[in-house]
Amino acid sequence: MGWIISVFFILVTLGFCVVYFSTRLEQRRQENRLAASYLLTLNQYYKDTQTQIERIRCYRHDLANHIQTLEYLISQKEDSSELHEYLGVLQKKYQQLVEAQYCKNDVVNALLSSRKQHCEQSQISFAIDVENGDYAGIDEKDLAALLHNLLDNAIEACERMPEGEARRIRLHMAQLPDVTLEVANSMDSREKLDFRTKKNHKESHGYGIKIITDCVKRYHGKFTTEFSKEPPEIIQKIALPKL
């Protein structure tokens, strides 16, 4: 009789083990699917950024030619008020393109320009301090992924703030002696200071943080997050030794 009870408990235990490991396996498969989807999104974002860089280069070249042509036409025409007005519009657009050159890395320039435009639409003050360099010591896809996640987290925190409160983001980038990224952003003073995301898609946020930490580990770097209560602020810092 005793051996029957023992066999019964063994079978029950094995049953629980099968259920547990089956559940864990399915969770891992789901996590892998989500991670693959997130990485695919980042890769597509990188490709879109490269396409945008080429468009800007072509537009900048064409715009410079248009301005030179208009300057010549103006010099040949007595009543040139309309041409002057059109030239002013083109010069303004050209100046905006020139001002968007934060450093010698086109991917960084395109990404920062995109995020600055988003901040302007969301009434977020975005102060950019970038050392003028090419950041060649870091793979462009890694650099784009780090900036993408850091800035999107900062923008999300600012957009949760109540109307009327000052929304600010500060970015500092340097490449000597190590490549450093520092993003500081204001936050809702009523929020609890923790690392839990407030996004609807928590899985995406989790993989965004995982991508940051994995990337930092590959470069044997450091990733830290600090909180300030006065004023309420989050500061995220990354330091990567150049390969």
**What architecture is the 103-243 domain classified under in CATH?**
2-Layer Sandwich (3.30)
The residue ranges of every structural domain in the chain are 1-99, 103-243
Are 87 and 132 within 8 A, CB to CB?
no
Give which of 48, 223, 75, 55 is closest to 144, Cα–Cα: 48
What's the full length of the chain, in residues?
243
0.95 surpassed by pTM: no
pLDDT tens track of the chain, all 243 residues? 556 666 556 656 666 655 555 666 666 665 565 555 556 556 666 666 667 667 666 766 777 777 777 777 777 766 667 777 777 777 776 666 655 788 988 888 888 888 888 899 899 999 999 999 999 889 888 898 899 889 988 999 999 998 888 999 999 999 988 999 999 999 987 776 554 555 554 444 556 788 888 889 999 999 999 988 888 899 999 999 976
Exposure on the CB side of residue 91, measured as CA atoms within 13 A: 11
- 175, 130 in Cβ contact below 8 A? no
Tokens of 189: 């003073």
